Structure 1
Amino acid sequence: MANSKFEYVRNFEQPDNLLPNTWIVVRIDGRGFTKFANKYAFEKPNDRRALDLMNAAARQVVTELPDITIAYGVSDEYSFVFHKSCSLFERRASKLVSTIVSTFTAYYIHYWSTYFTETPLSPPLPSFDGRAVCYPSVQNLRDYMSWRQVDCHINNLYNTTFWALIQQGGMDALEAEKMLKGTYAADKNEILFSKFGINYNNEPEMNKKGSVIFRDYELVEPGTHNAAAEAENQAEPVQPSKSQADNERKRRAKARIVVEHFDIIKDEFWDRRPWLLSNKPGKIPKET
């Protein structure tokens, strides 16, 4: 590389490496999406087109970045999880976050016309911001994922009740807020059922649980492995041989990437899918 008197400016670039041997979660959020949703008249409390669009963009991110082991999304946010053994981009926060944000935003705009067929985009265009957080243990990671899903449930129950009061109950926003102030989940369920005949349990699973994206392999029986313990006991990332790495890469490429709406708080989801914590591809399901 040629030297010049201007090269000193590189000294201002500071390292932003993420902690080694930790789980990395990159969470992205829509910027100014309340105003954006109003501009395009998103349906309240949930617009199926908007949620499907988020899932389509996120699925492409997972497809293009095989180091992502699982992703979880709700509303205008998505979390992408990288395994603790991942060395992608030398674990640099800025490069990792910018790659996720730019790839997601590009596909969000690309797929917009697929889901909003009669509403073309116009400036200001949708954009997202992101941050990267390191979690040292499997329990920390699972607690993070549980937190996001619990948050999804709490917000969706509130919003479902709030908008029922407005759209079906004839209240304005201030009246609905006042009625819901200090209420618990049981109170909101009672309001929905007694006033509007809505059984919250029958609401779409995506609205109640959010969306989880992962590579799908054959399910295993719980108790036949302990992927969590193996991941915790791994003192440092184990680098596979070239042949092992090639084999794993091929198996990941063959795996179907699915979008599901499962309970990710309970152990069963993780126990039946050990590859999410071990970072070792499972068996490709036989076609039926």
Structure 2
Amino acid sequence: MANSRFEYVKAFEQPDLLLLNTWIVVRIDGRGFTKFANKYSWEKPNDRRAIDLMNAAAKAVMSEVTDITIAYGISDEYSFVFHKSCALFERRASKLVSTIVSTFTGYYIYLWSTYFPDKPLSMPLPSFDGRAVCYPSVQNLRDYMSWRQVDCHINNLYNTTFWALIQLGGMDSTEAGKTLQGTFSADKNELLFSKFGINYNNEPEINKKGSVVFRDYELVEPGTHNVAEEAENQAEPVQQSKSQNEKDKKKRAKARIVVEHLDIIKDEFWGRRPWLLSNKPGKVPKEP
């Protein structure tokens, strides 16, 4: 760019580098999605087409941004995790957030007709906001992921019961809300079963556990890799050569990206997939 007398305005830009050696989570949320869902008459309490669309957009984002190690989605939100060693965009928050938000929104709109062929989009178009948060330890990161999955369960149990009272019990939304006021999980489970014959345990896992997106490598035996401990004890950011970084990037780009509905709170999920915390690509599964 040519120098000019106007170039001084660059001095107004503020640095927004995220803290080194921390896990970065970029979480996006749909803007005004309650009205958006009503506009397109989504099924209650869960519209599978809407969930599949969110997951498809998330897979596309992970395919394009290979630095993402894992993503987790529920309802109209998605969390994308960058390894603590990530140096993408020099860890600038504005660049990371805007890239994830814009890429996700672009694919969401592009893929809309695949999942809602009979409901063409009209103005206002769907949009998402985003934020970046740094977590200093593996435990902090796992607690964040656990928080989102627990939130998924709590919200889904409430919504399942709420809409059963309306759709099967003939209540209006005010009556259903009052009926559930002050109830605990056990109360909702009992209400669903005794009144409507619904066993919440038999509800689809995608609704109860949300969606986990990651690259698919060969699973390992639990306890054979102490990746979490190694990551916690790493005082300084891991420095890899440029050539090694490129090799790892190519391996990640070739890996199959999967969407699963698993328990990410227990140790087994992380223990069998050490690449999520090590950021080192695993072995590609053999073809059946």
> TM-score with structure 2 length normalisation?
0.98
1:217-232 equivalent positions in 2, closer than 5 A:
217-232=217-232
**Residue-by-residue CA offset, 1:103-133 (whole Å, 9 max, x unaligned):** 0000000000000010000000000000000
Q: What is the CA distance between 1:249 and its match in structure 2?
A: 2.2
Contact 1:85 1:236 in 2 (8 A): no
Aligned partner of 1:130 in structure 2 is 130
Q: What is the CA distance between 1:188 and its match in structure 2?
A: 0.2
Please state if 1:97 is matched with 2:81. Answer: no
Q: Secondary structure at the match of 1:163?
A: helix
Q: Secondary structure at the match of 1:125?
A: coil
Aligned partner of 2:72 in structure 1 is 72
Q: Secondary structure at the match of 2:59?
A: helix
Distance 1:169 1:73 in 2: 30
- 1:148 maps to amino acid: R
Contact 1:25 1:132 in 2 (8 A): yes
Distance 1:17 1:243 in 2: 25
Q: Secondary structure at the match of 2:287?
A: coil
1:179-218 equivalent positions in 2, closer than 5 A:
179-218=179-218
Q: What is the CA distance between 1:242 and its match in structure 2?
A: 3.6
- 1:160 maps to amino acid: T
Distance 1:163 1:35 in 2: 17
Q: What is the CA distance between 1:245 and its match in structure 2?
A: 2.3
Please state if 1:143 is matched with 2:143. Answer: yes
Distance 1:93 1:248 in 2: 23
Q: Secondary structure at the match of 2:247?
A: helix
Q: Secondary structure at the match of 2:175?
A: helix
Distance 1:246 1:88 in 2: 13
Aligned partner of 1:259 in structure 2 is 259
Aligned partner of 2:165 in structure 1 is 165
Question: Structure 1 residues 89, 243: CA separation in 2 closer, same or farther (over 3 Å shift)?
Answer: closer
Distance 1:23 1:143 in 2: 12
Q: Secondary structure at the match of 2:81?
A: strand
Aligned partner of 2:27 in structure 1 is 27
Stretches of 4+ moved more than 3 A in 1? none
RMSD: 0.9
Distance 1:129 1:246 in 2: 31
Distance 1:246 1:101 in 2: 25
Q: Secondary structure at the match of 1:17?
A: coil
Distance 1:148 1:282 in 2: 26
Q: What is the CA distance between 1:77 and its match in structure 2?
A: 0.1
Q: Secondary structure at the match of 1:237?
A: coil
Q: What is the CA distance between 1:219 and its match in structure 2?
A: 0.4
Q: Secondary structure at the match of 2:159?
A: helix
**Residue-by-residue CA offset, 1:251-279 (whole Å, 9 max, x unaligned):** 21221100000000000000000000000
**Residue-by-residue CA offset, 1:59-98 (whole Å, 9 max, x unaligned):** 0000001100000000000000000000010000001000
- 1:165 maps to amino acid: L
- 2:48 maps to amino acid: R
Distance 2:184 2:109 in 1: 38
Aligned partner of 1:268 in structure 2 is 268
Distance 2:223 2:108 in 1: 40
1:31-42 equivalent positions in 2, closer than 5 A:
31-42=31-42
Question: Structure 1 residues 17, 114: CA separation in 2 closer, same or farther (over 3 Å shift)?
Answer: same
Distance 2:212 2:145 in 1: 10
Which stretches in structure 2 are left out of the alignment for 5+ residues? Answer: none
- 2:89 maps to amino acid: F
Please state if 1:18 is matched with 2:5. Answer: no
Contact 1:22 1:137 in 2 (8 A): yes
Aligned partner of 1:153 in structure 2 is 153
Q: Secondary structure at the match of 1:238?
A: coil
